[in-house]
Amino acid sequence: MPADPEHEWGCTARGGAASPLIDVPRAKALGGCSAHNATVAIALGLTRLLSADGDSVIGLIRNPDQATDVSDRGGSPVPCDLERASEGQIAAAIKGADAAVFAAGAGGGGSAARTLTVDRDGAIKLLRAAAKAGVPRYLIISAGGAEDPPDGDDGLSIYLRAKADADAAVQSSDLDWTILRPGPLTDDPGAGRVRVDPTPGQGTVPRDDVAAALARLLHDERAAHRVLYVNGGDRPLDHALEAVLSG
């Protein structure tokens, strides 16, 4: 089953600098998600974790009302609508980052056209912008089920195909990419115990635990060029990631 629908907001992170044009160590660029859906909780959680770890996070927001959500968690909000901005504008916003994370999504809950412009086209636009800006690392929140999306014309099928198309573009890029496919998301507090696999699994997973997994994957070079599935499980997060990354 796929992750719950997400909307869009965005963020970038860089180590200790407020300006997106300054190249600094441990920079991160997190792109995409919105303050009124499931992904925003992941992106905001990731912003908080990265900021606490010493990274400077920049959130690419499409709505100025979302600025406080980012700043309250230690990030710097930057207006940049992934749907309307050009690749060059996005590249300027994330220049100097050492990683980009796509956490946006219409989630299949809106129109089919919007699902495609956000979940597929937005992810690919951020990917190309990252390459143009010289950002070497790219992580994307995908969804369980994107490995074999259905052919239907319902919102969920379109959503999974959009995710699959975006994932294919990521895998064919020259960046050091990681694709994370969570199971259905819950609002439960993070348990810190998950199952991480290179093949599809079953079960739900708290959004907090997905954010924590992303924070660790961003700082681990072994995660490059991997597709990983995360669901709730019995193993501590660090142990689950170590097992799959060292295999």
| CATH label of the domain that carries residue 26 | 3.40.50.720
pTM: 0.87
Residue 106: predicted pLDDT: 61
Short-list 12, 34, 38, 30, CA closest to 143:
38
Structural domain count of the chain? 1
Give domain status of residue 5, yes or no: no
Give domain status of residue 160, yes or no: yes
Given the residues 159, 163, 209, 240, the one annotated as active site: 159
Stated as kind and residue range, the H or E segment containing 182 is strand 176-182
Short-list 42, 227, 12, CA closest to 129:
12
Instruction: Return d(Cα 135, Cα 195) in angstroms, integer.
Output: 29
pLDDT higher than threshold 70 for residue 20: no
* Residue 123 CA, distance from chain mean position: 9
- Whether 229 is catalytic is no
The phi and psi torsions of 127 (rounded to 5 degrees) equal: -60, -50
Range of the domain at 168: 11-245
pLDDT higher than threshold 50 for residue 17: no
Residue 16: predicted pLDDT: 31
- Rounded to an integer, the average pLDDT of 89-115 is 82
- For residue 134 the two structure tokens come to 């010289």
pLDDT higher than threshold 60 for residue 54: yes
Give domain status of residue 3, yes or no: no
Mean confidence (pLDDT) of the chain: 84
Task: Read off the pLDDT of residues 107-155 as tens digits, 9 standing for 90 and up.
Answer: 555 678 888 988 999 999 999 999 999 999 999 999 999 999 999 999 9
Exposed e or buried b per residue across 151-185, where buried means at least 16 C-beta atoms within 10 angstroms of its C-beta: eeeebbbbbbbbbbbbbebbeeeebbbbbbbbbbb
